[in-house]
Structure 1
């Protein structure tokens, strides 16, 4: 027999309380996220369940559809964020706390994702073979003075495609193609390996500079074997001739299914708070997106960054053109 609504209300205190939790799908290693999630739980009492999904995140969300237990997704790089947007598995979050904390260039114009931290694609330069002031602009990396002195990972990797997309945004496709060809002509070896491998090559004397993300410096300094590689170089922040230093982001978005939407919004708001920004950025050796949030001592030691203000969504749209250019110049051949 069904109880009347009034009876249900009166006996409500005898029913178990609904669990407060947020389910997060993430491509980031759990140890990079757990400290800030533990701080959120300590402050709110809301449990965060992390599911690390290294590959196939979009496919999983699409296959689960409305049944997905995921409330939020956290990933890195604008290419991955845009792929999730294109899969139509997200819902917008129109939230003033998020909008006031995250600069406009670092969030989706339709409120589908918000950056949490940023990283810069910069030059790692040999302390022994590269003079102070020798590295200037991204455009200059295609000049003859760098002939045989540059190492990079493959050009079709997302990090380098995002940088080339930024070149297109500033200079146009024809100039970007000339730049990619010039960069290729200056390579000391065939593009191979990851970002750390490029720094190792500098340490080994194979090249003098590399294109590498900032946070790898922190990761290498914490590794017994790689510490020597890191100590052989310094970070230099090139800029575009008409802009700033190219950056990319880690970000968060809410799924369409979001069974715990209210608590998920609370977590999103917490992630852009000053305390959370400091924790998350320090663990990852990245830059907070919240203006005025504390930098880690190590990240601050690298110097100030004048971030480029091209909206990352625009860069995502230019990614196909960047890929075509890399293939046309045969960058990885």
Structure 2
């Protein structure tokens, strides 16, 4: 029967005052601090030679007409999959090719217009050999993330992003920890730099992330607003008796007031009704009761922005205007249904 290599765990701390004396927490803190130091070294390297190479890598990818083909094996392969996913989701077409599968037919997935991004800490990964030869043979630009410029990968690369040598968080110096953290951070940096160079917008992000909480945050106001006749509107000068009827029919707790040109000039809310409550309310003109220059939002604004506005001002609805004219209304209930909380 196989035996576990794990030793009997020490007792977990029962109180905050015991945390500092916990061996497991000490290991966690040490790991984070070592990896944090590695990221500090990476940031420092980007201010020098690595920064120059990084700029060339971005230029190489921007100039290409194809995709970024990411490859690596082991822990670098896992990082590569994440880098490819982040690139693709931020506007840079990318996919991951396993180097072993590449040697068995998947090299055909790589086109001359593509750019290869190969990741290997040592730069001597044997499984990358066929990809390197393929890149050289068909003149496919090769960007490398490695720790050694003199390695096989570093020498083969058109642009080598050489990571600083730092200690691993693993106490034996064996398990890739700090090194993979730096690889991941540099991959994220590439994705963000490419995103900014291509003027990738929140609307673009929405197209690639239509589902879940992120999709809700990136929904536009025009997609959730009550448009056209559904919006509660009344003309300036109308009596409050008509305004109350519209408020009751539309059930949004408010009515917008427009002038002869159709421009929104005010809003009557439940709060306005309470402030003017009296026997003569229904005979008053809406202009006497309304709040002038109400807060509004545009149809191309994000729903998350509308939610922030509603919560910040403790109100429940916003009129949606286009060049001063109301085109709809967005209610807090519609935003809550999206999951914006």
TM-score by length of 2: 0.23
Higher RCO (CA 8 Å, separation ≥ 6 residues): 1
Q: Bigger radius of gyration, 1 or 2?
A: 2
